[in-house]
Chain A
């Protein structure tokens, strides 16, 4: 949409990352505007997860630079925690804390990291649970919820920290088809509120409708990026054509 506007909230410059002698990122350069919704696609093992995990420093890049919300990701202790409370993340496997109730899952980090009082935190949690549509599950344990409900709790847990950016790493891949919809609806609603979103997902419907930009990864690099209309209608790179034919065929 507002491409070229000079307000990037994530800037990556020639980011490289190795696991042992395997290079997972081979120089990724891109930036994300405030309020933009970016969908990352690409074959398995192409480095999508590694890339978005570098953005909140769950992985450390070895070369190049990443600046998030004006803070450069270095080994500065002060920056790391600041970054993590600006960036929320939702995982494929939900990663809810099984020993805590849904309510405790959402209030824990608010109290200990955001230093809110418990009652404030609980109010915020309740509001978010209503927003994701499951206020009645607050007292249950994660193990008692369905996959879709768990993932919505995970989203609420991230949102409770008031992040500026939300990262999603294949949030619907571990879900049964009927649950995928309820999670995508929450994500769509979130995008509507102007949240900056970087999502790895293969839900092409979501990508087409919600995304401002699609980024295709392969072998640790960005092969092609562009707005969905252009990206799906006339892809330029042959790799993109092949990938699209593979995932759209079934």
Chain B
């Protein structure tokens, strides 16, 4: 094409003005554009009105006892956690809030949203409240709620309409600011609502912690590199989980007498780790294999003889480290990283054992996890634990070695072929059969194991899809460069495969979150069980089961829906970012 322009007689014209479509036109076009659609609209409108009326009659019936919910807030969230130790729960929440503030600072909330959209949302909320309030006038109802609905609705709607007049032109505000305002409004609501006493201040503090750590994160971010900052925040998130559930909420008492017999040995083992890594990384291939073989043999043998559990686990961990050394820790820098990882991992393992052996110092013994807290533990813990297992199964299923492949296929297909509830019963009833008489895990631990085992099979299938999407050329190129199979898997294949399947993995995490509700059947006090059995059977709230079930449905829905929306956005962004 030529770059020069000629003076042609026809200059460009602006497009013809579209006359604004009136609402009647809109209705005709979208609702009554054919006989069939007209009939459909009529039928659906009638059905919808009937449904709305039925729902309103249900909601505003004098039999409904919505007022039982605020006083039971603590039950929903933590169930039987001793109320005098409730500070532990607040502390957990604040840790999460702090990390959330930190994350928003380091990942940045650069999103913008148009003011018109925000105002429209306010207007829509107001309109909905108003309509519901007015419709409820025809149903027998408590007056206070109706008043709030009608007047609040009028106010919001008015503000919305007024603001819409004011902001005509396209203006944008940052999402962070909108969220801050919503947060402030929520704090205001907390002070207004008749919540269980003693919750207003902690909730306010939570909001303040988020804001404070957002600023702290920004300050720290000024003299830390972006990459390092993100790495630190990620590590903190990973660590927060065991710290919260094993230490803060459990409040264990460390009984030193029980561990004196093996503690020195464990310390020795941890101290000897770097030496083993050094030897293996320096030795020739065959010598290293010999050392690893020896370590592996002892590690396996230790499960046959009566060694303390901590020593067995530490030995197994050391074997794994030593196995990975020749491939990943040959250069001096990587070796130094390996020493530190080993020391940190060993000390953490040791601490977990100390905390795990010690009984809890809480006032109630036994079940202290419940409510939404337990639901989150199972969902997050199940996802996190099933990830390595699922990746291993996927690698096994795509392996060139037939026996690994067959073992993986059998596991995956058997687990995927049976319902989750049977796996939960397996964990609950059959695991104790394998343990010495009288010994049993906590129900929560068994459920977590079962959920992990179940989820891993599905995760494996997702990851397998990603692995198969990695082209054969990638493996050939890595082989031609002399990489070992382990290096190829960890550095080339898996990173590419996991990137492809992130949306599927988020989808699976959501499914797992919904599935945790099944633990209610085997008698754990998760959120659904609190809503179905515990609250409706208390004298103050007897028979409020449908109300509670609807609350449960709403809470699960909010979580699952917002996660699936977030995942959609993530999917779009990944789709743009990768080629």
Q: Do chains A and B touch in the complex (CB under 8 A)?
A: yes
Interface residues of A (CB under 8 A from B): 56, 58, 77-78, 81, 84-85, 87-89, 91, 93, 95-99, 108-109, 111-113, 115-118, 141, 143, 154, 157-158, 161
Distance in angstroms from B290 CB to nearest chain A CB is 14
Instruction: Report whether B481 and A158 are in contact in the complex, using a CB–CB cutoff of 8 Å.
Output: yes
Instruction: Report whether A99 and B483 are in contact in the complex, using a CB–CB cutoff of 8 Å.
Output: no
Complex Cα–Cα for A105 and B473 (A): 14
- Given A117-B333, A158-B481, 12 extra CB contacts under 8 A: A58-B479, A87-B480, A89-B480, A95-B471, A95-B474, A96-B477, A109-B482, A111-B331, A113-B482, A118-B333, A158-B480, A161-B481
Instruction: Report whether B482 and A84 are in contact in the complex, using a CB–CB cutoff of 8 Å.
Output: yes
- Contact among B285, B482, B492, B578 with A161 in the assembled complex (CB-CB below 8 Å): B482
Instruction: Report whether A88 and B328 are in contact in the complex, using a CB–CB cutoff of 8 Å.
Output: no
Complex Cα–Cα for A78 and B487 (A): 16
Chain A contacts for B331, CB-based, 8 A: 111, 115-118
Complex Cα–Cα for A118 and B330 (A): 12
- Contact among B327, B333, B474, B578 with A97 in the assembled complex (CB-CB below 8 Å): B474
Distance in angstroms from A124 CB to nearest chain B CB is 14
- Verify if B67 is at the interface (C-beta below 8 Å from A): no
- Verify if B197 is at the interface (C-beta below 8 Å from A): no
Distance in angstroms from A91 CB to nearest chain B CB is 6
Interface residues of B (CB under 8 A from A): 285-286, 327-328, 330-333, 471, 473-474, 476-484, 487, 491-492, 495-496, 499, 578-579
Please give me the residue from chain B that is nearest to A116 by CB atom: B331
User: What 10 pairs between A and B have smallest CB-CB spacing?
Assistant: A95-B477, A143-B579, A84-B482, A95-B473, A109-B481, A89-B480, A85-B482, A115-B330, A113-B482, A115-B331
Please give me the residue from chain B that is nearest to A112 by CB atom: B487
Identify the interface centre among B286, B477, B479: most chain A CB within 10 Å of its CB.
B477
Chain A contacts for B286, CB-based, 8 A: 78
Instruction: Report whether A112 and B473 are in contact in the complex, using a CB–CB cutoff of 8 Å.
Output: no
Complex Cα–Cα for A161 and B477 (A): 13
Instruction: Report whether A112 and B327 are in contact in the complex, using a CB–CB cutoff of 8 Å.
Output: yes
Chain B contacts for A85, CB-based, 8 A: 481-482
Complex Cα–Cα for A115 and B286 (A): 18
Please give me the residue from chain A that is nearest to B477 by CB atom: A95
Please give me the residue from chain A that is nearest to B492 by CB atom: A97
- Contact among A88, A112, A118, A154 with B483 in the assembled complex (CB-CB below 8 Å): A112
Distance in angstroms from B485 CB to nearest chain A CB is 11
Distance in angstroms from B344 CB to nearest chain A CB is 22
Chain B contacts for A96, CB-based, 8 A: 477
Complex Cα–Cα for A183 and B69 (A): 73
Complex Cα–Cα for A98 and B483 (A): 17
Complex Cα–Cα for A56 and B496 (A): 25
Please give me the residue from chain B that is nearest to A85 by CB atom: B482
Identify the interface centre among B480, B484, B495, B579: most chain A CB within 10 Å of its CB.
B480
Complex Cα–Cα for A95 and B285 (A): 29
Complex Cα–Cα for A93 and B476 (A): 11
Please give me the residue from chain B that is nearest to A88 by CB atom: B480
Complex Cα–Cα for A85 and B487 (A): 14
Distance in angstroms from B241 CB to nearest chain A CB is 27
